[in-house]
Amino acid sequence: MNSLYLGADIGGTNCRVAVAEVQEDGWHIRYRGNYPSQNYPSAEWILRDFLGACGSPTLAAAGFAVAGPVVDGSAQLTNVSWQMSAVQLGATLGGVPVVLLNDFEAVGYGLSSLAPGDLVTLQPGMPQAGAPKLLVGAGTGLGVSILVPEEGDYRPLPSEGSHADFAPSGEREIALLRHLAERHGHVSWERIVSGPGLEAIHHFVQAAAGQEPKALAAPDIAEAAMSQRDPWAVQALEIFVSAYGAFAGNLALALLPRAGVYVAGGIAPQILGKIREGFFLRAFTAKGRFAGLLAEVPVYVVTNPDVGMLGAFAAARSCSADS
């Protein structure tokens, strides 16, 4: 039997855990589980539940993609109050090798395992082989990774670029910035381009119109906007998608990712229809004299929800004795 690897995608809302083996045609998942992060005091508790449910298989190694910066094998998650360490996780798993990596670093490793059907082209551009790639993705937070060419492949580098200062475009976004600054002081891109950000935008557009704000969760706002049931949700989603595109365009100017911009995360596939209406690309390319340059950059949406898990498996395999 092939060696088994554990991969986990640890987010602020959900923790997705799976055990898989690698075969000639790629990774085959044998067991998987999905756990609400807020229901558990730590990742170790989730592992115990998961391993008990799948019969405690013998593992070669494990990879954990975590939503936060990783320093010396440890991480403090950004949107859930967990401290994680590779040493402690390895002990919970019986001493197997464990690698801890940023969640979007893991997504970067997972890109090479995607099938053509896992990508939707927003802008074909003029791709250049051997150029950098850019990965961005909104979910509970906003993730970023830079992929640099290395020995015929790509190596993803972790980034916390989502916490850079939000740069508004136009009077409405300036008013949004002021609204959020009253709450948070510093307003980062993640305060807007994320699930909580969509909720904040929805609150803002209602208040700006003199309405008593009606609180909705991000998935409900997106659904209400896509079905045209709520005009405030429609406005909020348009602001959200435009900000998403503007943020990706800013990073693309800094990095010149002529091999492609990849939009991942849990939100983009759910609002793909709105993204394809043009709000994203108009903001992406609205960079004055450099609009033509950004029109040449390929832009794709990643629709495979397991891409971070695939990257965690790959990282686990690279640190195991079987690699």
**Could you report the per-residue pLDDT of 221-256, keeping only the tens digit for each?**
999 999 999 999 999 999 999 999 999 999 999 999
Predicted pLDDT of residue 323: 54
Domains 4-106+306-318 and 115-303 share a fold: no
Pick the CATH number of 4-106+306-318 from 1.20.1250.20, 3.40.250.10, 3.30.200.20, 3.30.420.40: 3.30.420.40
Q: Which of 221, 224, 203, 220 is nearest to 212 (CA)?
A: 203
Whether the predicted model's global pTM rises above the 0.85 cut: yes
277-309 per-position pLDDT tens digit: 999 999 999 999 999 999 999 999 999 999 999
The percentage of residues in the chain with a pLDDT greater than 70, rounded to a whole number, is 99
What's residue 312's pLDDT? 95
pLDDT at 321 over 80: no
Distance of alpha carbon 206 from the chain centroid:
28
pLDDT average, residue stretch 140-151: 93
Work out the number of other CB atoms within 10 angstroms of the CB of residue 104: 31
One-letter amino acid at 212 equals E
CATH of 115-303, one of 3.30.390.50, 2.60.40.10, 3.40.367.20, 3.40.47.10: 3.40.367.20
Place of tokens 């998608």: 241
CA angle 304, 113, 98 (to 5 degrees): 100
Proportion of the chain above pLDDT 90, given as a percent: 82
Does pLDDT of 46 surpass 80? yes
Do 47 and 96 contact (CB within 8 A), yes or no? no
pLDDT of residue 287: 97
Order the strands of the 26-36 sheet from edge to edge: 26-36, 14-23, 4-10, 61-66, 98-102
Predicted confidence at residue 25, as pLDDT, reads 83
